[in-house]
Amino acid sequence: MALRFIGKDDQSPGGQSPTVWVDEESKTIVIQGWRLDDPAKAEVHRTAPVPPHETVLRVPARMAKVLREACNDVEPLE
């Protein structure tokens, strides 16, 4: 698996930024983000349980451009 770096949150303190990559082989998006706090986790679990092999991350809205780029790389608009 070769991940292609798309972008990082350049406003995140300490360089510990949420980051986005694209796995071009599997056509998936890989995201590093902040863990949810307990109240947010509870909200997510009310919608649908999160299986043990999955997690939920938080990324800032200011990363929308990076996320759009990753989405377009995985599935370009026609």
**What is the reported pLDDT for 65?**
94
Range of the domain at 39: 3-74
| pLDDT range class, residue 60, cuts 50, 70, 90 | very high
Do residues 71 and 25 lie in contact, with contact meaning Cβ atoms separated by under 8 Å? no
Count of domains observed in the chain: 1
Minimal CA–CA distance to 5: which of 22, 18, 17? Answer: 22
Mean pLDDT for all residues in the chain: 90
Beta bridge partners of 57: 35
d(CA 71, CA 42): 28
Minimal CA–CA distance to 22: which of 74, 61, 66? Answer: 74
Query: Considering the entire predicted model, what is its pTM?
Result: 0.82
